[in-house]
Homo-oligomer: A and B are copies of this chain.
Amino acid sequence: MSSTAQGARARARMEVTAAIKDEARRQLAAEGAAKLSLRAVARELGMVSSALYRYFPSRDDLLTALIIDAYDSLGESAEAAHADAADAGPVQRWTAVAEAVRAWGLRHPHEYALIYGSPVPGYTAPDTTVPPASRVGLLFIGIVRDAHQGSGLSELPPLSGELRPEAERMAADLAPDLPPATVVALAGAWAQLFGLVGFELFGQFHRVVEDREPFFRHAVTRLAQGVGLE
């Protein structure tokens, strides 16, 4: 058993794994995550369903793989856009990442729905999804951190007493070098960005916002200002 044979085996395994996920993604688009079925994937690939279990031990594991791939694909797009804007100001970097998120969502609406839409009934995501899911958020934290260190970050109004304990816990967990009020604003802006993208993708802007690109650019610029960037 030569090493090239082993390499070939490993390569074949990766190719089949990729084919399974590709087909599963097609079903995701056609039928939704709730109806994702290992049997249907197998049938479409000319395999027998039991053969799939050599690659994914269960339907939920296949779902998890699709979710992680989606988060990673989004994260990669966002990181690439951020890298392209590395020399620009913090607001430009912020909007570059936000626009990359929107563009990815428009290109992959069903995968967007998988990760930011309704939970799949009966499925709970394992902790392995957390790091890929964090990539976009970490970019925003980095942008704000750079502005803070370069003193390009304005101070935010003081927090109410009821929010202070949670704000300090959040800051300690997510970005100990940033002011708690900034971390709270960041978490809010992060959620609000996906509110904008989700409303566009899921049809809520129908007949409300039609020319969405300038609208979105404007909204995310104001989000950047809301966390103290200028």
Contact = CB atoms under 8 A, between A and B. Distances in A.
B166 A214 contact: yes
A98 interface: no
A222 B214 contact: no
Contact of A174 (B117, B122, B202, B208): B208
Interface stretch (A1-9, A14-22, A188-196): A188-196
Contacts of A193: 195
A121 B198 CA distance: 16
A83 interface: no
Interface of A is mostly: helix
A100 B121 CA distance: 25
B215 A184 contact: yes
Interface residues of A, number: 59
Contacts of A184: 215, 218-219
Interface string A17-46: 000000000000011111100000000000
Contact of A202 (B119, B169, B203): B119
Contact of A118 (B188, B202, B214, B219): B202
A114 B119 CA distance: 11
A204 B191 contact: yes
Given A163-B217, A187-B215, A226-B226, 4 more contacts: A166-B214, A170-B209, A191-B195, A191-B196
Interface of A: 30-35, 113-114, 116-122, 125, 130, 133, 137, 159-160, 162-163, 165-166, 169-170, 173-174, 184-185, 187-188, 190-196, 198-199, 202-205, 207-211, 214-215, 217-219, 222-223, 226
13 contacts: A31-B121, A116-B202, A118-B202, A130-B207, A160-B217, A162-B214, A163-B211, A169-B211, A173-B207, A188-B215, A191-B198, A195-B196, A195-B198
